[in-house]
Amino acid sequence: MNPKWDKPKSKISASRKLSLKMLLLTRACEDLEKEKLEREEEKVRYLGEKLPPLQLSGLSLDELQKLCKQLHEKIDVVDEERYDCEHKVVKHNKDIHELKLKVQDLGGKFKKPALRKVRVSADEMMRALLGSKHKGSMDLRANLKSVKKEDVKQDKVLTSEVGDWRENVRLANV
């Protein structure tokens, strides 16, 4: 073989690659833990700014009522912001769905091939449905209910005895 076409050998051994991978993974895990702790600290700091501890002791009734009104106003503002955020999320989700549909339409539709009619015998059908459980050819007509020819002849005799309905009407009118 020509040395130009051979793959160049790696300059780093397999054990060295593995150790570097392990170092990268441990470093990534440590970074994830740091980010998680930072998010928790940010959450605590934000709540500390937005929710100062309440001093309820030593307040008169009027001061408590004013405090309640202020808290209700803050609640209303937060609810409005939450509603606006939810509305934006719903709108963006709807836009994303519409854009996905447009992409599918632009990509073209899959044309289903016309299926050919295939004749399948009863044995082949049973083999396809049952797989290896199918043994030999099954006589499907053996499972049908047998009818005696004498019963059929008796039914014909009974219907012939009824006769013509015109004669019955004429006899009833007389």
**98 shares its domain with 76:** yes
- Answer whether residue 85 is part of any domain: yes
167 φ, ψ (degrees, to nearest 5): -65, -40
From 31, 51, 71, give the residue that closes a domain.
51
**The overall pTM is greater than 0.75:** no
How many domains does the chain divide into? Answer: 2
Query: How much is the CA Rg of the chain, to the nearest whole Å?
Result: 43
Mean pLDDT of 130-144: 66
**104 shares its domain with 70:** yes
- Answer whether residue 47 is part of any domain: yes
- Answer whether residue 168 is part of any domain: no
Q: Alpha-carbon distance 143 to 137, whole Å? A: 14
Q: Percentage of residues in the chain with pLDDT exceeding 70?
A: 75
The boundaries of the domain holding residue 84 are: 60-108
Whether 153 has a pLDDT exceeding 70, the answer reads no
Alpha helix (H) ranges present in the chain? 14-50, 61-107, 122-130, 149-162, 165-173
**42 shares its domain with 78:** no
